[in-house]
Amino acid sequence: MSTLLELHNVTKRFGPVEVLKGVSFSLEAGEILGLLGDNGAGKSTLMKIITGIYSLEGGEIIFSGKPIPYPQHNPREARALGIEMIYQDLALAKQQDVAANIFLGQEPTYRFLGFWPMIDKAKMETAAQAAIARLGARIPSVKYPVGQLSGGQQQSVAIARALTFNPKLVIMDEPTAALAVREVEHVLDLARELKRQGISVILISHRLPDVFAVSDRIIVLRQGTVVADEHTAQTSMNNVVAHIVGAH
Ligand SMILES: Nc1ncnc2c1ncn2[C@@H]1O[C@H](COP(=O)(O)OP(=O)(O)O)[C@@H](O)[C@H]1O
Ligand SMILES: [Mg+2]
């Protein structure tokens, strides 16, 4: 295995509040890391630093062997490096169809009458179909408006879109929070499929059984500090809960 991501002593404050107090951990290529912690522990802030929404204050982050250049780092640079984040609200255009969402902003075009650039709808639908199939996702049709799909299916669309950017790391922040129980398994399968394709995953979830089912390693963040970093096979839910609530 090779190391994809290394955080060294990352700190961040919002005004007087020290949200991250020197966070260090590393992530291997093709590893699924479960990131756990109570509300307000700093999980989302940490991920937004990696994706360039926030800058870090102190410390260093190495991605693919190179330090991420803060404060210039931004979401577009993160994408170019191979970092994708699936947000809780998924950031999809609900009225538009599946194909349009997967290729939003990078639609294949042709020149009508050799001049006017037009979106090549047929090509886009074929490519969208292929992207969905590659994920093993089940979607009735790529012509369906995304808003009419179930939460789990929308999650598949967001991941299929992320995959068009050839990511090395996909961050999923609470992907199963709003899903029906039978849909959760499907999202966990998507995480496993990313791993199978050699992509690293950071999964944030409050649902311990989900994290235990898919992760290789678990990190617990408490009040901006890493309080546990353990191989999933070598820990237990009781142990992890104790770290989350601070009983250790
Ligand atoms: N943009 C912001 N401005 C000020 N405080 C923030 C901001 N984002 C997060 N925080 C604060 O940082 C702390 C960590 O939040 P967050 O990273 O969202 O935690 P988690 O995702 O683990 O629930 C919380 O106390 C939250 O109120
Ligand atoms: Mg959060």
Q: What would the 3-class secondary structure string for 153-194 be?
A: HHHHHHHHHHHCCCCCEEEEECCCCCCCHHHHHHHHHHHHHH
Q: For the ranges 17-31, 81-95, 108-122, 216-230, which has the lowest average pLDDT?
A: 108-122
Q: Which pLDDT value is given to residue 242?
A: 96
Query: Measured in angstroms, how far is the CA atom of residue 115 from the centroid of ligand 2?
Result: 47
Query: Is there a contact between 143 and 135 (Cβ–Cβ < 8 Å)?
Result: no
So where are the chain's domains? Answer: 1-82+167-248, 95-165
| Residue bearing the CA closest to ligand 1, atom 25 | 40
Whether residue 19 is predicted with pLDDT greater than 90 in this model: the reply is yes
Give residue ranges with CB within 6 A of ligand 1: 14, 19, 37, 39-45
* pLDDT confidence bin for 114, thresholds 50/70/90: confident
Angle between helices 151-163 and 121-135 (to 10 degrees): 110
* pLDDT confidence bin for 90, thresholds 50/70/90: confident
Across the range 148-174, mean pLDDT stands at 91
Beta bridge partners of 7: 25, 61
Among all bound ligands, the one having the nearest atom to the CA of 88 is 2
> Helices marked H in the chain — which ranges?
43-50, 75-81, 98-102, 121-135, 151-163, 181-196, 208-214, 237-245
Q: How many CB atoms lie within 10 A of CB 62?
A: 15
Q: Which atom of ligand 1 is nearest to the CA of 47?
A: 17
| Topology at the third CATH level for domain 1-82+167-248 | Rossmann fold (3.40.50)
